[in-house]
A and B are shown apart, each in its own frame.
Chain A
Amino acid sequence: MKRLLAGTALAVTALTGAAQAGSHAVSACLITKTDTNPFFVKMREGAEAKAAELGITLNSYAGKIDGDHETQVAAIETCIANGAKGILLTASDTSSIVPAVQQARDAGILVIALDTPLDPIDAADMTFATDNYLAGLLIGQWAKATLGDAAADARIATLDLNVSQPTVDVLRNQGFLDGFGVDLADPNVIGDETDPRLVGSDVTDGNEEGGRRAMENLLAKDPTINVVHTINEPAAAGAYEALKAVGRENDVLIVSVDGGCPGVQNVKDGVIGATSQQYPLLMASLGIEAIAAWAADGVKPQASEGKDFFDTGVALVTDKPAEGVESIDTAKGMELCWG
C-alpha cells in the first residue's frame, strides 16, 4: 500500500511537475464531505479559481456520502505522501479525523478547517467558517420582529439535521431560539428547552424528502404551528410542500440558513421568509490564500476579533426587512448566491 501510495505520489508529482517545469510548485489539497452537494461544488470552484490565479496545484478529494470518514482519512494520507503545503478540510467526523490531521501538521502541513470546525476547534491550524450561531440568531430575531406581538404565543417547530446533532445543527438551532427569545437551557443540546411555545423538533437529513416528512409529523402533533426553523433550504422546500398540502402555506413563517441560489429564489417567491446566507466561495479562496502565505513565509492565518475562528461572514436575505435586524434584499442575495 505504502509503495503504491508513494508510486502514485511520484506519478502525480511528475505529472504536475511537468506542468510547472522549473519552479518547485506549491501544492494544496481540498477535502470535502461529498462532491455532490452544491455547497461543496461551489467551494471547489472557488478554490480552483484562486489556486490557478496564484499558480498553486490543487488536488480535490471528497467522501462518497455525507459521513464517509474513511475516504477523508485516506485523502489526508495521500496529501502527506504528495508533499502538499496545505490542506483545506470540511470534516465529516469532526473528532475522529483529529489524529489524521495531527499527522499532517506534524509533517509541516498547514491544515485549515472550512465550514465545519474540528472537535476540539484548535486541532486545525485555523477554521474558516460561517458563524452558524449568528446565522441562526439573525433568522430568530427576524422571525420575532416580523410576528410582533404574536411572538408571545407563537407555535414553533424546528426542523434539524439528524439525530447525532452535529455542531452546525446545534449552533443554527440554538441561535435561532436565542434570537426568538426562547430560554436555551443547555446551549449545546437541541430539545432540552421547556418553553411552552415549542411544539417540537424533527430531523430532515437536510433534504426535501426529510423536510416534508418532518413537517408532516410535527403538524400531526400540533396543526397550529406558525413558525418553522429549518436547517437548510432543501429542508425548507420540503416543509413548504407539507404545509401546502394542508393549505397553511400562507400563514406559516419559514426561516432557513444557506443562501444557495434556489433558496434565495424561494425567498423571492415567498416560500421562505428569510434565510441567512453564507459564502463557501470566499471560504475556499481565503483558504488557498492562507496556504500561499504559509508556503511563502510561514505565516499562519489569524482568527477574527473575539472569536476562535476566522468568520467569513453571513447576511440575512429577505424582501421583508424587519425593524432592528440588518438584511439585504433578494436581488443582492441572487448576486451573491452559490449553487
Chain B
Amino acid sequence: MSQSDNYESAASQAATEVASFDEHQKGLLGKFHHALHVTPALVPLIVLVSAIVIFGLLLGSRFFSPFALTLILQQVQIVGIVAAAQSLVILTAGIDLSVGAIAVISSVVMGQFTFRYGLPVEISVLCGLAFGTAIGALNGWLVAAMRLPPFIVTLGMWQIVLAANFLYSANETIRSQDIAEQAPLLQFLGTKFNIGGAVFTYGVIFMVALVLVLAYVLRHTAWGRHVYAVGDDPEAAELSGVNVKATLISVYAIAGLICAFAGWALIGRIGSVSPTSGQLLNIESITAVVIGGISLFGGRGSILGTFFGALIVGVFTLGLRLAGADAQWTFLLIGVLIIAAVAVDQWIRKVAA
C-alpha cells in the first residue's frame, strides 16, 4: 500500500506537533486539515483506533484480547463484504438498496439448487454467484441505459428480489447439519483457523482481501479512475472519453457479484441457509460507507474508509454489549456517528481558512 507511508508520516507529524505547544495553531490545524483532505480514510481510522483504545481501557482483557478483537472481524464480515459493493455504487453517485436482498437470494439459490435439484454443490455456488451478478447487471442497465434514478431502481429491485426469495424458498430453512453432511462447500467461507488466541475464518480473509484488491483497482487502474470520474461528473467523464454507460453497468454488476459472495459467506457464518437473514444489510452497509467517509454525492472517498466504518460499528456493538449496555444505546451511538461523519466530511471539504 502506498498509502501506509502517508499514514505513518501523518501520524508522526501529528504526534510531535501536538506535544509542542506553540502559537501556530492555525498552521497545525491547517496541516491536519490537509492530511485529512488527501487521505479520506484517515478520519475513520482515527475513530476506530480511539474506540478500540477506549473500550480496551474500560473493559480490559475481556475486550482487548485476540479472541474478542477477531470476533469483531467475524461479526462484521457480511456487512463488510456488502459495504465494499455499496462503496463502488456510491462512488458513482448511486446507491444500492437491493444489496441485502441480492446476498440472501444468492445464498438461497446456492442452497436450493443443491438440495432441491440435486446439482453438484460447485455448480450451485457458481449459479448463485451468476445470479447475483445478473441482478446487479440489470440494476446497472436500468440506471445507465434507461436513465432511471438508482435510488428508485434499487428500491424496486430490493422488494422484487426479497419477495422472489420468499416465494422461491417458501421460507424454508436448510439446516446446518444437512449442509455439513451433504454439501460442506456451502459452508466453506465459515471454515476457521486459529493463530494463537485469534480466530479467523475464510470469510474474514476474503473480506480483507476484497477490500485490498478493490483499493488497488480503484487507485491504480483505468477502470478505477473511471469509477471516480463518473461519480464526480458524468458529463465531463463522457467528454474525456470515458464510456459512462459501460462503467456504470460494470459497477452494479460487480456489486451484485460481491453481494453473492456475501451470501456465500452468510451460509458459512450461520451454518444454515435462511431466507430471513440479512434483512437490514442495505441500511447497515450504507451506514458503514457513510461512517467510512465516502461522499454520497459520489467521486470522493476510499474503500478502506468503508472497511474501517464497518469495523467501527462492530467495535461499538461488541464493546457496548460487553459493558452490559442496553442494545438501544448501540443504535443511538451509531446514529450520532453517522451525522458526525458527514459533518466532519463537510469540514474537510471546506477550503482551508
Question: Which A residues lie at the B interface, using CB under 8 A?
Answer: 35-38, 41, 65, 163, 200, 202-203, 207-209, 212-213, 216-217, 220-221, 234, 237-238, 240-241, 244-245, 262, 265-266, 269, 271, 339
**A37 in contact with B175 (CB, 8 Å):** no
Residues of A within 8 A of B175 (CB): 237, 262, 265-266
User: Across the interface, do A209 and B275 meet the contact criterion of CB distance under 8 Å?
Assistant: no
Identity of the chain B residue whose Cβ is nearest the Cβ of A220 in the assembled complex: B68
User: Is B225 an interface residue, CB under 8 A from the partner?
Assistant: no
Known: A37-B171, A217-B322. A163 touches B270 (CB 8 A): no
Which of B296-353 touch A at CB < 8 Å?
Answer: 318, 321-322, 324, 326-328
Verify if B247 is at the interface (C-beta below 8 Å from A): no
**Beyond A65-B279, A208-B173: 7 further Cβ-contacts under 8 Å?**
A35-B166, A163-B327, A207-B274, A212-B269, A220-B322, A234-B173, A266-B177
Q: What is the minimal beta-carbon distance from A250 to any residue of chain B, in angstroms?
A: 14
| Chain B interface size range | 35 or more
User: Which 3 A-B pairs have CB atoms at the shortest separation, nearest pair first?
Assistant: A208-B270, A241-B271, A217-B321
Give the number of residue pairs across the A-B interface with Cβ within 8 Å. Answer: 84
Of B68, B277, B279, B327, which contacts A208 at CB under 8 A?
A: B277
Interface residues of B in 92-126 (CB under 8 A from A): none
Choose one: B71, B192, B324; the contact of A220 (CB below 8 Å).
B71
Contacts of A216 in B (CB 8 A): 71, 74-75
Q: Which residues of the other chain, B, contact A38 by a CB distance below 8 angstroms?
A: 171-172
- Assess A241 versus B270: contact at CB under 8 Å? Given A37-B171, A163-B326: yes
Measured between beta carbons, the chain B residues less than 8 angstroms from A339 are 172
Asked if A212 contacts B192 (CB within 8 A), the reply is no
Contact check, A237 vs B176: say whether CB atoms are below 8 A apart.
yes
B171 touches A41 (CB 8 A): yes
Residues of chain A contacted by B270 (CB below 8 angstroms): 208-209, 212, 237-238, 241
Q: Does B171 lie within 8 Å of A36, measured CB to CB?
A: yes
Task: With a 10 A CB-CB cut-off, give which of B75, B177, B279 has the most chain A CB atoms.
Answer: B177
Q: Specify the chain A residue showing the minimal Cβ separation from B320.
A: A217
Are the CB atoms of B62 and A200 closer together than 8 Å? no
Q: In whole angstroms, how far apart are the Cα atoms of A271 and B177 in the complex? A: 9
Asked if B278 is at the interface of the complex by the 8 Å CB criterion, the answer is yes
CA distance A249 to B342 in the complex (A): 44
A209 and B322 in contact (CB under 8 A), knowing A216-B71, A216-B75? no
Q: List 7 A-B residue pairs with CB atoms under 8 Å apart, sorted by A's residue number.
A: A203-B327, A208-B272, A237-B173, A241-B270, A265-B175, A269-B177, A271-B177
Chain B residues near A262 (CB-CB < 8 A): 173, 175
- Taking CB atoms, residues of chain A closer than 8 Å to B279 are 65
Within the assembled complex, what's the spacing in Å between the Cα atoms of A234 and B271? 11
